[in-house]
Each structure stands twice: as C-alpha cells, then as structure tokens.
A and B are shown apart, each in its own frame.
Chain A
C-alpha cells in the first residue's frame, strides 16, 4: 500500500467518525446501534440504566467485549478506540472508584464527544486522550485489561496495534476485543477498494 493510499484511508475513516461524533450513530452503521444494540449484545444494562438516553444512543460497537470475562474492582483498563466513550463508562462502573479507565481514539472529535459525555455521567475514574491504536502513549505494563470494540479493523498496521496492546498490559493482563472480520471473500469488483475501510 502506498503512502498516498494510507493517507486516503485515514482521511476517509476520520471523515466518517467526525460525522458519527456530530450527527450520531444513525448516519453510519448497518447493524443495530444504541439501546437495541446493547440489548442484542447482552450488555449489563443495570450498570448504565441511569445514563442519559443520548449516551446509550451513542453505542455503535460490533459486540460485547465484557462478555469475554470479568473486570475486577480496582483494575486499570485501556479502551482502544473509545469513540463516544460508552464502553469506557461500562468499564469504569465495573472497576469501581478504586480502578481507572483510559480511553483513546484517533479522531479528536470523538474524544471531544466522549469528554462531553463523561461530564454528563459524572464518573471520576475515566479520562480520554487522542491517540492511535498503533501508538498508545503509556508505559509498559500499565493496564490489567485492554478492551476494544470495532477498532482494529480500522488500523493500518494491525500487528503493531496488537503488539502495543500487549506491551501496555501487565503480566497476566487480558485483551477483550470485539471486531469485524471477513466471513466470506469479497467479490472481485469490491476487493482492494480503499472505500472498504470506512463504508
């Protein structure tokens, strides 16, 4: 892949998620989002029943990473590609006030949306930063768990992003990841199109 193609992909992904940050999830996804998506994926809704409707509506994950195993009180959690922050808020409730959650996203507009949502939910153990999955700005062995939902498919260097997730985990730490995978080959006319990355 050329640098020009990588630039076009980054630009396309950013444009899509700027739209999600400003217009909401209804614009951009072909699967259930918001409360319907949460119910279908078996999220622990009792943890978030007091969240404003707008925050529940912001969920656009492709699965439920929390179904892969527990988060324990007091743990530190990194949410890679946090979007509007919904999963980070769920994690914050699970790890409790003695734990902490950091959400990173490559799109500044999404981080701004997450920060605005954080102000609404009032959680004190969450913060958000702008960072790419390939370069999270944290020391080795910083988190007991790394969570992610629909993000690694958008990373240009998946191996590096996974290597970084591994690096920032403590020994014995867990990766809980939901993402999109190919389940059948793309037809010839669609294979290799740059638009595949952000449609």
Chain B
C-alpha cells in the first residue's frame, strides 16, 4: 500500500510527503521526508482512517510511493 495512505489509515492528520532529499541508496530509491500529526479529536482520526482508501489515488500522484520490499 502507498506509504501516505498508510499514514492516513493509522490515523495521522495532515499526512504529507514534504519533499525528496536527493539521497539515493540505489537507482530506484531516494530519500523522502514525511510529516503527520495525531489529531486532538480522536473521532476525527477515525473518520480520516475510514477515508484512507478513497484518498489513495491522490496520494500516489504525490510521489508514486510504494511500500515494496526494502523500501518505504
């Protein structure tokens, strides 16, 4: 599953891939910075988690971030 979608699924709010870092561990992988917050309102966190599946296509466009073996 997309890493951003995972952040949303577990309840993080304002989850984002902020930027890439330029560090490459292989021709196929690069460092990236992710941010998330734990919502003050637990009820809202559940609502976001429930919507995570619907947000996957947008999250993928943000960086094509796959959770493949050996990568985030």
**A-to-B contact residues, CB < 8 Å:** 9, 29-32, 37, 40-41, 62-65, 67-69, 150, 152-154, 158-159, 162-163, 165-166, 169-186, 190-194, 196-199
Contact = CB atoms under 8 A, between A and B. Distances in A.
Contacts, number: 149
B38 A177 contact: no
Interface in B1-39: 1, 3, 6-7, 9-12, 17-18, 20-39
Given A64-B33, A175-B37, 4 more contacts: A62-B25, A163-B11, A191-B68, A193-B69
Interface of B: 1, 3, 6-7, 9-12, 17-18, 20-40, 42, 63-72
B38 A166 contact: yes
Contact of A182 (B9, B36, B40, B66): B66
25 contacts: A30-B24, A65-B33, A68-B35, A158-B3, A159-B9, A162-B6, A171-B39, A172-B37, A172-B40, A175-B36, A175-B37, A178-B31, A178-B32, A178-B33, A179-B32, A181-B30, A181-B66, A181-B71, A181-B72, A182-B66, A183-B63, A184-B28, A194-B69, A196-B68, A196-B69
